[in-house]
Amino acid sequence: PCAKCGNENMEDRCVRILEVFEKPNVASLRGVVMTCAPPDDRLKPLPPPKARDGKPAPRPRKICYMNPEDPNLGFIWIKPRQETFKRCGLDITRFVLKHEGRKNEIVSVRYQAMSPEILAQLLDNHRRVSVRGVRRREDMQAWAYGTMTGSGPRQPMGGAKGDGYGPYACHSGDTPDDIRALFRHAVDTDVLVEIGESIMPGLRTDLKKMTNIDEVTRMGLYGLTTFTCSNYMSVIHPDNDECRGGCYLCAQLHQSGTNKLWHEWDFVYAGYGLVIETWTNTVW
């Protein structure tokens, strides 16, 4: 424990550990739009695509809104602890899931995770990404506001075998711009993995093992794909990718014009009943 807070209750420590449980019937939340906005100020879904020649018209999309503050959902809210960070210089929360007598760390969040210099560099890299947007799965297309683009080994929707061996076009290395994009991607992944190691010990080793098994280490140390998002949102959905001990890191590089009374851009882990309040410089 930290020398400054080792005698504090777990809740007040700079690195605290909280136990969570899997939510029953979480499948019933799939496709739900979580929002705290009042009904007359909510985003509306995008219209479905038009019917193609010889094909039936798409079925109308079922839209369901829920408020994550609804006490019936029983969500746990995680928010930044300013006094804790001021005292110790850290604000990390780790979550463990107890299963068959064993506790497995599943999710972590760190506020004020990066120095101002590193944060500025990643934000600049973010703004320079110029890869074609990723097509989202059907139940997310209705809310395809904003942009989501990929960098690194190409991972298109569906994950066909062998696709991971081919990088996105901007990483071919054929032009000076391609080469600069390669280095920006390397910086992004290295920084995220190092921060990830601070909140999920063992992440670095797990990722190396995983990418060595899949033989995708041709780009940098880890062969990772990053997805750069702006004004991005999605409905509640499962990610059934096989990561064999790896995990998915998210970083909020910048927020502006955000109505936190409505918890805009917060992140819901519905399966564990968690809501992470995100701000600029949050990693989870």
Nearest to 111 by CA among 83, 92, 96: 92
Q: Which amino acid is at 21?
A: F
User: Is 261 exposed, middle or buried, given 0-12, 13-18 or 19+ CB atoms closer than 10 A?
Assistant: exposed
111 has which bridge partners?
282
pLDDT digits (tens, 9 = 90+) for 49-89: 676 666 766 666 678 999 999 999 999 999 999 999 999 99
Point out the least confidently predicted range of 22-31, 110-119, 127-136, 199-208.
127-136
**Are residues 47 and 144 in contact, defined by beta-carbon separation less than 8 angstroms?**
no
pLDDT of residue 59: 64
pLDDT of residue 206: 83
Q: Which contiguous run of DSSP H or E holds residue 87?
A: helix 82-88
The pLDDT confidence band at residue 245, using thresholds 50, 70 and 90, is: very low
Taken in order 234, 136, 155, 271, the sign of the CA dihedral is: positive
pTM of the model: 0.84
pLDDT of residue 78: 96
The pLDDT confidence band at residue 246, using thresholds 50, 70 and 90, is: very low
Distance between CA 225 and CA 171 in Å, rounded?
12
User: Is 138 exposed, middle or buried, given 0-12, 13-18 or 19+ CB atoms closer than 10 A?
Assistant: exposed
